[in-house]
Each structure stands twice: as structure tokens, then as C-alpha cells.
Structure 1
Amino acid sequence: MNLSALWIYQQERFPLSKTVPLLAVFSAASLCVSAELADRPLPSLGGFTAGFVIAMLLFFQMRVCDEFKDLEDDKRYRPDRPIPRGLVSLRTIITLGVASLPVTAFTAWAWHPRVLWLLVLVWLWLAAMTIEFGVPAWLKARPILYLLSHMAIMPLIDLLLTGLEWVPGGGAAFGLWLFLALSFVNGCVLEIGRKLWSPQDEIVGVDTYSGLWGPVNAARIWSIITLLSFALLAAVGAATDTFWLNAIIGGIGVAMCLKSAAEYSKSPTPKAAKRIDTLAGFWVFACYAIAGFTPILLRLF
């Protein structure tokens, strides 16, 4: 196994410099919000460690499934990607993905055995996504349904991560659904944001939302979804008694997103498209940081 090739692979397809901070905040915030909503103490460090390890492995498994599912399209339309160009083999990546499965299961079991059924739910949905729910052509012809069906895995992952707190804690708080909805919407923010391209960067055969809806409408839809995410962030704040803090801090972030969307709409240059992609990741990172940590900070200060 060529370690240098794998290092290049992760830089291009699973960049740890971006993935590690985002999933660290995502997993930690999930446990914090679950405990805060139920008025329970935070889990021990072991719970947070388990959450981070599980999140990292699950997102890598999602990448592996994408590599398998999209291989033919990548060969045809994106031959510069690592597997089509021969940097690493699909077999190597699948082997790593399969090897990660028992590690994920052991991590969940070691923290609390009953969490395993939540992990199974995530894996079942991931398997269904990988085969496009058995109707690949039908689903691909319906891009909005395709987006919604694939982003449904986000609240399932968050159900698992919050379950690291609420399963041993005695049950989930009612308001947890708001945080799960936030995860679903944030998945859409990320997915649409990374597929708003400039017209000169569009590739024949590669589906993008800018190509589907046009840059102006795509920017508007992304803005609306980002605003919905902001509304859910504020709602989570109301449930954890941090409404105004969430609204103020989140309002600054969402204003930056809306400004960039307006600029992209007027002039969809590669630079403007890159800014949307960057801000989508920034917004999701900020959402989880605000939702998960503002209640703790308020108690400390």
C-alpha cells in the first residue's frame, strides 16, 4: 500500500485539514446539545472521543461508497480524480472502508452497547444510498428528491452521535428534533454550496445546482436554505436558553453568506463560486459551534 499516494488521496478526496475540525465540532456539539436539552451533565471525555472517532469513520465510509457508486461517471467525466487516474485503486479504498467497519462498531459498543442499533440504522441508509435505493436512473432524473434522500443520512448520523449521550442518559429530550432538523438542512447547505460553479467551470455530464437552476436561482435557493438553517439555529437556542446569543452570532454569519450569494448571483465567477463553497463549510462549522457551546460558555462566564 503506497502511503504517499494515500496521503495525496486524502488531500483531494477526504481532506483532513478541513474534515477533522468540522467533525470534531459536529460530534462534540451533538453530545452537548443532547445533554443541555435534557438538563443532564455532559458525558465524560470518553463519550466525546467515541463521537469523534465514529463521525470520522462514518464520513470516510460515505466517501468510499461515493467512490464505488460514481466510478463510471468519474472515468467518463472526471478522469483527473485519484482513482480514475490511477493514483490509488478502488480496491484499496474499499479495503480501507471495510476495515473501518469493525472499528466503528467496537467504538460504539465500548461506549454503550445499545448505541449499536443506531449505528445499524446509519449503515442501512448508507447501503441504500450506495445502490441509489434500487432506482438509480429514476432518482437521478429527480435531482431535488436525490438531494433530500441523500441528505437524510445527516440527521441519522446526528441521531447516533446524540445517542451517545441520550441512550445511557435515559432518553432523548423532545427538543432534539430541532437539532436533527438543523443537521438535515446544514447537509443541504454544504451539498448545494459546493455545487454552485461558475459557467466556465461547468463540466458536461457532471450535475451541479448552478447548471440545473442557473446561477441566479441556485444562489437564491442556497440563500433560502441558509436562512432556514439560521432559523433552526435560533430555535435550538430558544430550547437551550441561548436564543439571543445564537441569533446575534448566527446573524453575523448568515449575513456574510447572503452577501456572498448576492455577489455570486450578479457575477458567477470562479472566485465567487469558491467563496460560496468556503462559506458553506464555515456556516455549518459555526452553526454547530454556536448550538453546542454557547450554553456552556454562558454558564462559565
Structure 2
Amino acid sequence: MQRWLTYQKERFPLLAHFPLVLLTSWCVLSFASPEPVKIGTLLLVTLLILGLFFQLRVFDEFKDYEEDKTYRPYRAVPRGLITLRELRNVGLFVAGFQLTATYSWNYPSLTLLLVCWIYMVLMGKEFFNPEWLKKQPLLYMLSHLPIVALIQMYAASFVWDLDFPPATWVLALVSLSGGALLEYGRKIRPPEKEEHGVQTYSALWGIPRALMTWFLAGSFGVFALGFAGGGWWVLSVFYGLMFPYALISALRKSALWLKFVELFSAIWIVLMYLALARFP
């Protein structure tokens, strides 16, 4: 048990993930339904979505194992804290729970669950062309973003079944934008924090370009909400806070400023989902 507690702390921190998944699940369910969200549905969907994100982590551990052994031997799996076989078994156990719970609670959602799993397998195999894909960092990220939208559509299907309304595109764009923000937040670092063999956007493109791309990626979600009539009220927060931060960070390029990229990404995501929950 101590090994698993250490693993989750290092690689899948529940104290960080659970509140964010709980909040975004409530926002998606509120967006999907005009009725108040039932606490039972919210808790179940939160656990199911958390399970999908854990399975993504398991796929990443398998996919990155050789690279981690070479460049990041301090991580939990390369140093022998947890084995890939153990992770696989836990991932399959979680899949069994997801399958049973989805069928029992809202069986039409099984279709979206299966679609999520299929796409996760494709991601784990790097779409069967890993060498070429890794040479295209932007395309690599774009190819992985749809899983975020699929996961949130799976959550919404507990209200909609498979009858998705026209406003689904707003949910999809906010989800894609939030996924991009998380990805950039993890991979924009000051020069002194870069690691040999670890591909980051700040190292590939330079800090100014990486930050501006981060800002534009988040802006897609904001403008989707605003264009659809559900989120202009957040514009002053985003462009009064995030743009000056991105600009100053690009100019300073220091750990003091860049350490907040991931924090601001989380804030940005939370605000977008809250605006989604208030969508008319």
C-alpha cells in the first residue's frame, strides 16, 4: 500500500486531480441538463472520469518506459517502485468497474466509453507511427487532444444518452482548449529547469513563442463560449490577467514567472468550465 501511495503522489496526485475532475464533471453535467445535478450521478461520473485519466497515465507509463529508463530513471516505474504489470492489472480492474457501473447506471454511455478506450489504445501505440509523430510536436499534441473532448462527451452522455444537441460543439471546443492548456502548462519551463531528453515546448520553440501559443490555445475555448452566448463575462479575467502574465513571462524567462504557467492553466480551465456550467 505504501508503494501505491507513493506512486499516486508522484505520478497521479489525487489531491490535485480529484477536485478538478469533480468540478469539471459538475460543470459538464450542469451544461448538459437544465435540472440540478444529482449527487449520485456526479460522484459516479467523477469516479469514472478519474478512472479514464488514470488509464491514460498507465498507457503513458508503457509508452514512455524505454525513454524514462534512459532519461528519467528517477520516476516510479523505471526505479522499480511499481511494475508495468501491476499498473496493467489495476488499469484492467478500473476498466471492469467502469464497464459495470456504466451499464448499470446508463447503458447508452457504454458507446462513448468504448470510443474513449479505442482512442486511448491508438494514443498508446502512437497511431502506429511513433518515430514520425514525435518529430512533429504540434501535430503530436493535436493528435492527443481529442481524448479530452471524448471523455467529457462520455460524461455528458449520462444526461444526453447518445442524442447530442447542436451546442455539443461548445463543450468539445472548451474541452480541447482545456486539454491544450494542461499540456502547455506541463511543458513550458525556464531554461534552468529543462531536462536532457525531455521534449518541452519552451525548449523546442523558445519561451516567447511557447507562451503565446499557450495563450492562443486557451483563447479558443473562451471565444467559443463568448460566440455561443455563454461566456463573455470571463473575457476581462482572461485578457486582464492571462495576457499580461504571458507577456511578462516571455520577457523575463525566469523560473519566478514561468513556475506559474501550470497554475494559471488550471485557473483558466476552471473559469472556462464554470462559464460552461452557466451556459444558457
TM-score range, shorter chain: over 0.9
Structure 2: unaligned runs, 5 residues or longer = none
Q: CA shift at 1:138, angstroms?
A: 1.0
Distance in 1, matches of 2:158 and 2:213, equals 34
Q: Conserved in 2, the CA contact under 8 Å of 1:196 and 1:209?
A: yes
Q: Which residue of 1 aligns with 2:198?
A: 206
Is the contact made by 2:174 and 2:273 (CA closer than 8 Å) also made in structure 1?
A: no
Q: Deviations over 1:104-162 (max 9, x none)?
A: 11121121111101100000000000000110001111111110110111111111111
Q: What is the aligned partner in structure 1 of residue 12 from structure 2?
A: 14
- Distance in 1 (alpha carbons) for counterparts of 2:148 and 2:18: 17
Match of 2:177 in 1: 185
Q: When the two structures are superposed, what TM-score results if normalisation uses the length of structure 2?
A: 0.94
Find 1:233's aligned residue among 225, 249, 256: 225
Whether the aligned pair in 1 keeps the contact of 2:215 and 2:242 (CA below 8 Å) is yes
Which residue of structure 2 aligns with residue 299 of structure 1? none
| 1:76 pairs with 2:70 | yes
Instruction: Determine if the alignment matches structure 1 residue 109 to structure 2 residue 103.
Output: yes
Distance 2:82 2:239 in 1: 39
Closer/same/farther in 2, CA of residues 17 and 235 from structure 1, 3 Å limit: farther
Aligned to 2:258: 273
Identity across aligned pairs (percent)?
A: 30
Contact 1:32 1:42 in 2 (8 A): yes
Structure 1 runs not aligned, ≥5 long: 297-301
How far apart are residue 44 of structure 1 and its match? 3.2
8 Å contact kept, 2:146–2:176:
yes
Corresponding residue SS for 2:103: helix
Write out per-residue CA displacement over residues 172-231 of structure 1, whole angstroms, 9 at most, x where no aligned residue.
221111111110111011101210011121122111001111101111111111222211
Give the Å deviation of 1:249.
3.5
Matches within 5 A, 1:14-93: 14-36=12-34, 41-42=35-36, 44-93=38-87
Q: How far, CA to CA, are the matches of 2:6 and 2:242 in structure 1?
A: 30
Which of the numbers 91, 94, 97 marks the counterpart of 1:97?
A: 91
Pick one of 114, 126, 140 that aligns with 1:120: 114
Q: Confirm or deny: 8 A CA contact 1:34 1:166 kept in the other structure.
A: yes
Counterpart residue number, 1:176: 168
Would you say the 8 A contact 1:250–1:286 is kept in 2? no
Q: Secondary structure at the match of 1:88?
A: coil
Residue type at the aligned position of 2:51: L
In the TM superposition, residue 281 of structure 1 has moved relative to its aligned partner by 1.3
Deviations 1:22-54 (A, max 9, x none): 100111111111124xxxx34533322221111
Q: CA RMSD in A?
A: 1.7
Deviation at 1:248, TM superposition (A): 2.4
Matched, 1:261 2:246: yes
